[in-house]
Amino acid sequence: MKDRIIFFDTTLRDGEQSPGASMNTAEKMRLAVQLEKLGVDVIEAGFPAASEGDFEAVSEISKKVKNIEIAALTRTGKGDIDQAWGSVCKAAKPRIHIFIATSDLHMAHKLNMTSDEVVQATVDSITYAKKLTDNIEFSAEDGSRSDRDFLCRVFGAAIAAGATTVNLPDTVGYAVPHEYAELIKYVMDNTENMHKAVLSVHCHNDLGLATANTLAAISAGAGQAEVTINGIGERAGNTALEEVVMALTTRPNFYPVSTDINTELICPTSKLVSMITGIIVQPNKAIVGANAFAHEAGIHQDGVLKNPMTYEIMKPETVGLVSNKLVLGKHSGRHALRSHLQEMGYELSDEDMKIVFTKFKEIADKKKSIEDEDLEAIVTEGILRTKDVFLLEYLHVASGTTVFPMASIKLSINGRTVKGSGYGNGPIDAAFNTIAQLADISPELLRFSISALTGGSDAQGEVTVRLKENGLIALGRGADPDIIVASAKAYVNGLNKIEYLKSSKYQESV
């Protein structure tokens, strides 16, 4: 029998801590349902004590997702633990995930606690949580830089108190594979009652080694891998689920382990995460990048045509890259659209379907055919967002070689309509200036990018902006066949994300 690796997905918690990647409850719910279909074993749905929004999202996911475990992150305080349990108590398979730092650096400078105090806090928190559930994970924050004998001591105490999973994170991405594997082996060999718990690993990508470290840990005996879709996460990100899964799948002679991941849903899930967060996947990203299965060099193209295995170590179909056989256009009916949306994983109410169908017809009148990316944009823009503070109601721009660029805007702010006009260096700059003036907010524009969601001159344009205001950074995205409209939508979306962050910002992370 192969050992089965548990996949613990933290896209909704650690992944959301990517600058600007905040998600509202509806977006988190959509992603949680997709992760369940993908086949992950555990979803870390959030950090409930961080904000009311996080508590709400974890609670709603716990009610909806029934076939896999739902975890809530918490510090060692009883109040945090109560919040965590309150958010997952209605889950079919709840998990409480407790963490505390264990490195000398963190204990001295962040916690101001001694090693004995950290052990006692660990035992006390797990003992308290044990009264609520038997499924408890304990994480030693900054574990890879902790004293290895102290790690064994604190893990042993955690297991004795009732932890069923102990996590050894490389919190700051400092470890290298050989060193990390040796640490995993040492902890497994020297922790009392280690056989009573699963050893988990959680790696960050600061040195570009997150996947390599995770694979080294699995080879050394780790039973759970903590990952995110597309590798998103704080700073340089986390271990990418798709990379670990496909390494295990492609090289079974080196990794004689099994998973429950449906690899054919990897690319659709990757696209969904990118769509929701606005974080574009780099073209040369392994497995899910646009160039991962693209061949431009003539000798490569010739080889692939003769035998795909000459330059492809995986079949594109195994990760979900399949062509869409159903072509949707302006003559398509409501039934065909609903059927296709269901294939994409959307179960819409009749009311939501009316909204989507109306927008679908608007886009179809401007395009010859509608692609999945167009539908994702329509549903995401029209349905999945919660009520926003700012809403773009009207946009008119004037620009040209003999006209000073000007924008006229009608904006709804919490239901109150405001109008105004402004100038800029171009029509997009004029629109941004006017929106900022009407919203009475002046964020710094850190990034502005445009891409086509689909091919052709009639493609929907997707605009991504990165805004910064008072230390908060948010990614906004907008899609429309008119790139100026798409830009305005992205800017408004970014402002709404900033408003969301004001009530949901938190700092602690594993």
CATH number, residue 247: 3.20.20.70
Task: List, in sequence order, every beta strand (DSSP E) within 362-424.
Answer: 390-400, 403-413, 416-423
Burial class (CB in 10 A: 0-12, 13-18, 19+), 339: exposed
Q: What angle do CA 329, 372, 58 make, to 5 degrees?
A: 135
Q: Are residues 270 and 310 in the same domain?
A: no
Please check whether residue 491 lies inside any domain of the structure: yes
Q: Are residues 437 and 371 in the same domain?
A: no
Q: What is the pLDDT of residue 150?
A: 98
Q: Are residues 399 and 340 in the same domain?
A: no
Q: Are residues 341 and 309 in the same domain?
A: no
Question: DSSP per residue over 47-83, as a string?
Answer: -GGG-HHHHHHHHHHHHH--SSEEEEEE-SSHHHHHH
Please check whether residue 425 lies inside any domain of the structure: yes
Q: Are residues 54 and 196 in the same domain?
A: yes
The domain total for the chain is: 4
Q: What is the pLDDT of residue 200?
A: 98
Please check whether residue 327 lies inside any domain of the structure: no
Q: Shortest CA distance to 236 belongs to which of 172, 176, 290, 178?
A: 172
DSSP 8-state class, residue 132: T
Q: Are residues 58 and 81 in the same domain?
A: yes
Please check whether residue 285 lies inside any domain of the structure: no
Q: Which domain holds residue 374?
A: 334-384
Please check whether residue 489 lies inside any domain of the structure: yes
Average pLDDT, consecutive stretches of 10 residues, N- to C-terminus, the chain (510 residues)? 88 89 86 96 96 92 96 98 98 98 97 98 98 98 98 98 98 98 98 98 98 98 98 96 97 94 94 86 91 66 66 84 60 82 77 88 78 76 71 94 94 94 95 96 91 70 89 85 93 89 58
**How far, in Å, CA of 211 to CA of 199, rounded?**
17
Furthest C-alpha separation in the chain: 79
DSSP 8-state class, residue 103: S
Q: Are residues 367 and 310 in the same domain?
A: no
What residues have CB less than 8 Å from 24, skipping those under 6 apart?
A: 53, 57, 385, 386, 500
Which residue matches tokens 């916690």? 111
Please check whether residue 249 lies inside any domain of the structure: yes
Q: Are residues 217 and 353 in the same domain?
A: no
**How far, in Å, CA of 97 to CA of 88, rounded?**
11
**How far, in Å, CA of 503 to CA of 150, rounded?**
37
Q: Let me know how long the chain is.
A: 510
Contact, 163 vs 157, CB < 8 A?
Answer: no
Q: What is the pLDDT of residue 324?
A: 42
Q: Are residues 374 and 471 in the same domain?
A: no
**How far, in Å, CA of 150 to CA of 152, rounded?**
5
Label residue 194 left, alpha or beta by phi (over 0 means left) and psi (-120 to 50 means alpha): alpha
Query: 2-30: b or e for each residue (b if 16 or more CB lie within 10 Å)?
Result: eeebbbbbbbbbbbbbbbbbbbbbbbbbb
**How far, in Å, CA of 379 to CA of 398, rounded?**
30
Q: What is the pLDDT of residue 305?
A: 63
Q: Are residues 179 and 52 in the same domain?
A: yes
Which residue matches tokens 């271990």? 239
Please check whether residue 286 lies inside any domain of the structure: no
Q: In what order do the strands lie in the sheet with 444-452?
A: 444-452, 461-469, 472-480
> 399: domain CATH number?
3.30.160.270
At 35, which amino acid appears? Answer: L
Q: Are residues 47 and 159 in the same domain?
A: yes
What is the model's pTM?
A: 0.82
Q: Are residues 315 and 442 in the same domain?
A: no
Which residue matches tokens 């995110």? 228
Contact, 172 vs 139, CB < 8 A?
Answer: no
CB atoms within 10 A of CB 295: 17
**How far, in Å, CA of 392 to CA of 212, rounded?**
45
**How far, in Å, CA of 410 to CA of 430, rounded?**
14
Please check whether residue 329 lies inside any domain of the structure: no
Q: What is the pLDDT of residue 1?
A: 42
